[in-house]
Amino acid sequence: MIGRRRAAAELAAFGALALILRIAFDPLFWRFAGPVSLIATLVCLAIYLRRRGEGWSSVGLIPLRGVKAKLLVLPQALLVFGFFAAAVTVVLYGGEALGWTFLKTVPEGVGDRWGDVEGSLPMLLLWLGIVWTAAAFGEEMFFRGFLVTRALALFRGVPLAPVFAVLIPALLFGLGHFYYQGLRGLVTTAAIGIAFGAAFLLLKRNLWPIVLVHGVVDTINFIVLYLGADA
């Protein structure tokens, strides 16, 4: 069982590391600063966990033993997608009810980041590679698997501990998208982070269905960009 001091130290250390690396990589390759900094953070985290005798299974990448366990990922993924759809719906309609007009405006810089995907198969394949490494696996392993697990340990015994354990990583997840998606991206991805975090706990800390949904949703988005269908 992870103690509170260790949980707090790990949250602070690896949260700061991810932020510092992103800031450091930003002037070098702005488009890929997020994915590269996250992968570098995960490498450091993997080394740390290994030295402590832990593996990624301890933070959600549990072994799927047997055919039944593997087949269950699909219906579980449908549940996760329901959470995802609910979060997006709440942001869209809730934001409209609150008069949050910024949710309807694509921030400057987003087009520059994704614009070269349209009609370019090499760029599409590059970003799909990033989607299934840094995004689907990387973000879920870090923001859900590691941060939610450590936040649960930190708030153990505190009323509404699971709520805090989901909200704090979700806010960090939103902030991680703020640098190129603006306030719109922060609110939207934070809401998605809440949905994925809640699903992670509901599925007894099983990341596989969440990784699958994350990867499929992002893949569809990039295919839409490639086809120019979002215009």
Determine the pLDDT at residue 26.
85
Whether pTM > 0.85 for this model: the answer is: yes
Length of the chain counted residue by residue: 231
Determine the pLDDT at residue 111.
67
Determine the pLDDT at residue 5.
93
State how far Cα 164 lies from the chain centre: 17
Determine the pLDDT at residue 221.
92
Contacts of 27 (CB under 8 A, 6+ apart): none
Euclidean distance between CA atoms 137 and 211, whole angstroms? 6
Euclidean distance between CA atoms 146 and 210, whole angstroms? 14
Determine the pLDDT at residue 230.
59
Determine the pLDDT at residue 109.
64
pLDDT in tens, the chain (231 residues): 788 999 999 999 999 999 899 889 988 888 888 899 999 999 999 999 999 999 999 999 999 999 999 999 999 999 999 999 999 999 999 988 888 888 877 776 666 677 688 899 999 999 999 999 999 999 999 999 999 999 999 999 899 999 999 999 999 999 888 877 788 889 999 999 999 999 999 999 999 999 999 999 999 999 998 998 754
Euclidean distance between CA atoms 186 and 34, whole angstroms? 14
